[in-house]
Structure 1
Amino acid sequence: MSDPIDRNGLAPRFWDRKPLKKMNAREWEALCDGCGKCCLNKLEDEDSGEVALTRVACRLLDDATCRCAHYETRHQFVPDCIVLRPDTIENHAYWLPRTCAYRLLWEGRPLPDWHPLISGTAQSVHDAGVSVRDATLSEFDVPEDEWEDHIIEEPT
């Protein structure tokens, strides 16, 4: 399966030298590892603020590719889908998966070896067992009051 993100021609290890807020659109998009976890519905504890991922996915997540089926027009279908950008990362980093490149870099941590920018292949995120490929349930099939029954553990 081919990777929809074109990482060709980007400066080597640009993420080590360039702050998130200075990245251009291509660099920003290239940070996405294709795990699909950002498209999982999340539960936030009102008291602690802790965010838990569920295996209940947004209606637009393609479970086989771990990509949004309508990425460019997703707001027509899911108006409250968050647009993560360099100028909004500070507001949204807390709900991103712990393995997410955007969160890792925002926290000043390195990208893992399985990240496509390091491994050179989009398949590495799936081979490492980090993606949600073929492991989600549609939000159409699980009532919101049952999402808690589908919380998944994240790698630390």
Structure 2
Amino acid sequence: MNETPFWARKSLDEMTAEEWEQLCDGCGRCCLNKLEDWDTGEIIWTNVACHMLDGASCRCADYENRHASVPDCVTLDPDLVRSIAWLPPSCGYRLIAEGRPLYWWHHLVSGDPDTVHQAGVSVRGRTVSEEGMEPEDYEDHLAAWPGDDPGEGDQSEIGKSSEIGK
């Protein structure tokens, strides 16, 4: 039996549906509303979360039926992962697509789905809901941290400061 974990030996295209779903680290960053500068194409992050995002778990409140409530919710697939610029740099899908390893806090590595929160990588406690907010008001909620790569630098220090992401 091969002891190398599936994410280290398979490409995104080779993964089963179950393996694919396990790659999500539960950070919730992809569920934040983003703005795009029409002139430059630059992605500008906000802390405005989709109304379907559960702020405690950082997971979709109704993942299986999300398109009924959010018709433009993006369904990731291998080709899309390789072509979109707004996936967070720490996203498991993006890391595997780029041939990089998962970070220590990813539940597939740590064995604990809470380490993404303990490491300060998730959006837990750092968002406002889009519910009742006009899109033009998103500019009042710009945030740089969702686009930061928490794997840069000394990983042993990630999440150990209460200032991470603030």
Q: Same fold (TM over 0.5)?
A: yes
Over 3 Å counting, the alpha-carbon distance change for 1:12 and 1:108 in structure 2 is closer
Match of 1:142 in 2: 133
Alpha-carbon offset, residue 110 of structure 1? 1.7
Q: Measure, in 2, the Cα distance between the counterparts of 1:143 and 1:58.
A: 13
Q: Deviations over 1:14-67 (max 9, x none)?
A: 111111111110110010000111111011122222212211011111111101
Matches within 5 A, 1:109-148: 109-148=100-139
**What are the superposed Cα offsets for residues 53-85 of structure 1, whole Å, 9 maximum, x if unpaired?**
211011111111101011000111011101002
- Point out where structure 1 has 5 or more consecutive residues left out of the alignment: 1-10
Aligned to 2:156: none
Q: Larger relative contact order (C-alpha < 8 A, sep ≥ 6)?
A: 1
CA distance in 2, matches of 1:119, 1:127: 11
Structure 2 SS opposite 1:152:
coil
- The aligned counterpart of 1:46 is 38
Identical-pair percentage: 55
**2 CA distance for matches of 1:118 and 1:52?**
30
After TM superposition, which residue ranges in structure 1, 4 or more long, deviate above 6 angstroms? none
CA RMSD of aligned residues (A): 1.5
Amino acid in the other structure paired with 1:107: E
**Displacement of 1:12 after TM fit?**
4.6
1:106 aligned residue: 97
Number of residue-to-residue matches in the alignment? 145
Counterpart residue type for residue 43 of structure 2? V
Query: What is the letter of the counterpart of residue 113 of structure 2?
Result: A
